[in-house]
Amino acid sequence: MANLNIDSIKDRTFDAIVIGSGMSGGWAAKELAEKGLKTLILERGRDVKHLKDYPTTNLYPWEFPHHGVVPSAVQEANPIVNRCYAFGEDAMHFFVKDAEHPYVQDKPFDWIRGYQTGGKSLLWARQTQRWSNFDFEGPARDGFAVDWPIRYNDIAPWYSHVEKFAGISGNKDGLAELPDGEFLPAFPLNAVENYFSKHVKDKYKGRHVISARCAHLSKPNQIHLDQGRGQCQERTLCQRGCPFGGYFSANSSTIPWALKTGNCTLRPFSVVHSIIYDEKKGKAVGVKVIDTNTKEAIEYFADVIFLNAAALNSNLVLLNSTSGRFPNGLGNDSGTLGKYVAFHNYSAHISAEYDGYKEWATDGRNPAGGGYIPRFRNVYKQETDFLRGYAAGFGAYRNNTRNSEGIGADLKHNLAKKELGGWSVGSHMMGETIPKESSYVMLDKDKKDQWGVPLLKISVDYDDNDAKMKKDYIEQMTEMFTSAGFTNIQAHTDTRAPGLDIHEMGGVRMGNDPKTSMLDKWSRLHACKNVYVTDGASMTSTSCQNPSLTYMAFAARAVDHWVNEKKKLNA
Amino acid sequence: MNRREALSRVGLILGGTVIGAEFFLSGCKSGSSVNTDDLFSKETAAYLNEVGETILPATATPGAKAANVGDFMAVMVRDCYTPEDQKVFKKGVSDLEDASKKKFNKGFMEADAKQRTELLTALDKEAKEYNSKKKPEEPNHYFAMMKQLTLLGFFTSEVGATKALRYLPVPGKYDGNYPYKKGDKAWALS
C-alpha cells in the first residue's frame, strides 16, 4: 500500500463495514446508518443509481433493436445466464455475463449473478412470504441439517419491521403455515383463480390458493413516499428498474435511505479479497479490498463486519479469509463452512384449460403474478415418502385468439381484433431441498480470478427426495386440476441445473452448537463475534418460501443485536 | 415482460411455432454466416418491405411498410437466426423472385398489388403444406420466416402497436375481474 500514514488509516476506518449492497446488505447498511454508525458499503460491481442508471426503463418495444429478443451472439457467449427467465434485451446489462466472472462447476450449476449496487434486488421476482414455525422446526423434527437456533417469535417483529418499510402487498389469510404480515392491499385474483381458490378450500383440507404476496406498493404509505417511491403502475417491466420505485429494490429504497443519513459511504468497484482477522485481539478488524479499476489492494477497518455478498460469494469470502487461528476459513472451527448448500426445486410445472367464466376477463397487468399455494405437504406431520414439501404458483389467463391463416387485410384484421379464447391455467413448483454435506462449495486449488481471488468450485445436486417430491407435485396438482374441472392437463418437467432457481442457500449455517454450525442465533460467527452473515449463506434449511424477505429480516435483527451489544459494553 | 413471456406472446401473435424461437431461447452454435452485406442491402430491405406490405397491407390503419419491417427482418435474420436459417432466408428472396417471374413473367417489384397477393397467397399455402409434413431436422420454409418476421416486426413496431393494436405502457391499475366484451382492438406487447 502506498500510504500507511495515520491519517490514511483514519480515513479508512469506519464503525461498520457492509460487504455487498443488495437485498440484505442494503438492509444492514440502512439500519446501521440510521442508528448513527459510520458505515462503509463495499460493492464489487459498478454503481447503479435509482432512475439515473436504468437505461431501458422507459423504452418502447420498438426502441430495442431486436424488439426484446437477445441477439444470438450474446446468447452464444452466455449459455448460463441466458437460461435465466429475466435475461432479455431490456435487462441484460444488469446480469453478470458468463465470461466476466468464471467459476468451476464440479456438477452443473447455473450461477445467476448481478454485480452492481442493488445486486439482484433490481431483478428479483418480488415474491415475499414469511416463514412459520413449521419451517424453523423442520430440520429438528425431520432429522436433517441442524436445529435452527431461532423460532418464529424471534424473527416475527423483524419481518414486521422490514415489511413496513419495503412495502408488501397481500391479504391477511390467517394461515398457520404462512403467517400474515404488515400488508398493503393485495392484488386481486381473477375469476378463475378465485374459482380454483374456493374449490380447493372446499375440497382439500389444509390447502389454500391465496393472492401472491409481493414487494409492490399497491397503495404507498408515508414511509414509502418519504423514500421517493410511488405507487406501482402495473407496467410489469420491473427487471429494467422501476421509474416509480413501485417495487422494492435496494437501489430505490434502502441504499439511498442509508446514504441520506450522511453516515454512509458507498464504494463501488471493490472486490472483497478477505476479512482481516487480528490474532491478538481475537476478532476481525477489517476487510481487504481490491479496487477493480486500479487493481490496488486497500484495507478498510471497522468494529464490525456485515457479510452480505450473496449466498455463495459470502462463502467465498470466508473461505478465502485464512489466518493462523482459522486456517480453513474465518470462523470455520466446525469444518462446516461451504457445506450443506441447498436450493429450491423449480423443475416441474403444469398447464391446463378451463371452460367457464367466459364473461370475465382482466384489465391491466398483475405485478403479483396471480395466486400462491403455500406448502400443504408434511406440514403438521410426516405423511409422504419424501421429506418436507413444496409451494406452488398458480395463475389463470385468457389469450387473444390468433387466426394467422392467409395473408392480406383479413389476416391483419384477425390479428388486431380483441377476441379472447378460453381460460388457460398454470402452476409451477417451488420445492424445499435438503442441505447435505455432499452439496458444497470450496475454493479451487489452482484457478484464480483477475484479482487473485480463488475461483469458487460448486458441487450441488438433486437427490432422491427431490425426485419423489416432484412426482408428488405433479400427482397432487393433476388431481386438484381434475377435481376443479380443468381439462387438457399437461405436466411438464425439465432437467435444469440447481442455481437457475436463484435461491441458493447455506454453507454458513446458523445453529446452536459451534461444533456443527458457523453462526449463532444472532447471525454472527460463533468463533468471531464481530462478523455477521445475514444473506442466503446463513440459511440452515431452505423451506419453500421465496427467501429474500427472511434475509432482510435477519439483517435488520443482526444490526439491532450489534448495536445493543455495543451499548452494553459502553454502559 | 420477460423474454420467455415475450416469446410466448410472440408465438401468440404468430399463431404457432416461432422460427428461431428454440434458437432465441437456447443460444446458437454459429459458425460462418452468410454475407450479411449482400443479404441485407438497401434494395433487399426495400424488397422485403413490399413483401411485408402484401402480408399486412395498409387498411384503415398503416401497414407493414410503414413499420419498415424490411429493415427489421434484415436485423433479425442477421442477429437472431442460425446460419442455416440465414441461408434459407437468403435463398428465399431469390426463390420468391423466381416464382414471380415464372407466374407473371415479371419480378415481384414490378408485379401489381393483386398479383403480389396472388403470389404470396400461393407461397403461404405452399409453406403451410410444407410445414405440415416437415420433420424437425429439415429446413424451415423461407416464406414462413418472412411471414413470421413481418407479423412480429409489425405488431411490435410503433405504428403496429399503437395504431393497429392498443398500446398501454403504464396501465396504472390491475382489475382482476373485468367484464369481457369482444370487439375492441387487441393489446400490444408492453
Say which of A66, A85, A187 has its CB closest to residue B79: A66
Is residue A393 within 8 A of residue A212, CB to CB? The reply is yes
Residues 6 or more apart in contact with residue A450 via CB below 8 angstroms: none
Average pLDDT, stretch A469-479?
98
Per-residue model confidence (pLDDT) at position B60: 96
Per-residue model confidence (pLDDT) at position B145: 95
Torsion of CA A243, A249, A251, A252, to 10 degrees: 50
In this complex, do B2 and A85 lie within 8 Å of one another by their Cβ atoms? yes
Chain B residue whose CA is closest to A190: B176
Considering only CA atoms, which of A135, A149, A157 is closest in space to residue A521? A149
pLDDT tens profile A32-42 = 999 999 999 99
The angle formed by the CA atoms of residues A87, A89 and A94, to the nearest 5 degrees, is 55
CA distance B93 to B143: 9
Say which of B72, B79, B178 has its CB closest to residue A72: B79
Average pLDDT, stretch A224-249?
97
Cell numbers found for residue B131: 410445414
pLDDT tens profile B141-157 = 999 999 999 999 999 99
A544: exposed, middle or buried (Cβ count in 10 Å: 0-12, 13-18, 19+): buried
Does residue B11 surpass a pLDDT of 90? no
In this complex, do B30 and A86 lie within 8 Å of one another by their Cβ atoms? no
In this complex, do A60 and B161 lie within 8 Å of one another by their Cβ atoms? yes
* Mutation for A interface: B177, B182, B184, most A CBs within 10 A: B177
pLDDT tens profile A59-86 = 999 999 999 989 999 999 999 999 999 9
Domains and CATH numbers, chain A: 6-170+216-343+434-461+502-570 (3.50.50.60), 173-212+347-387+389-433+462-497 (no CATH)
> Distance of alpha carbon A464 from its chain centroid, rounded?
25
Report the percent of chain A where pLDDT is more than 70: 99
Looking at A63-199, which runs of residues are DSSP E strands? 104-105, 168-169, 183-184
CA distance A142 to A231: 43
pLDDT tens profile B45-94 = 999 999 999 999 999 999 999 999 999 999 999 999 989 999 999 999 99
Is residue A348 within 8 A of residue A369, CB to CB? The reply is no
CA distance B84 to chain A (A): 13
CA distance A51 to A227: 13
CA distance B183 to A413: 11
Break chain B into its structural domains and give their ranges: 35-164
pLDDT tens profile A548-566 = 999 999 999 999 999 999 9
Listed as own residue / partner, the contacts of A563-567 with beta carbons closer than 8 Å and 24 or more positions apart are A563/A32, A563/A35, A563/A37, A566/A303
Three-state SS annotation for A39-87 = EEEECCCECCCCCCCCCCCCCCHHHCCCCCCCCHHHHHHCCCHHHCCCC
Per-residue model confidence (pLDDT) at position A5: 67
Chain B residue whose CA is closest to A397: B176
Residues 6 or more apart in contact with residue A209 via CB below 8 angstroms: A189, A193, A196, A197, A200, A201, A371, A372, A373, A394
CA distance A176 to chain B (A): 27
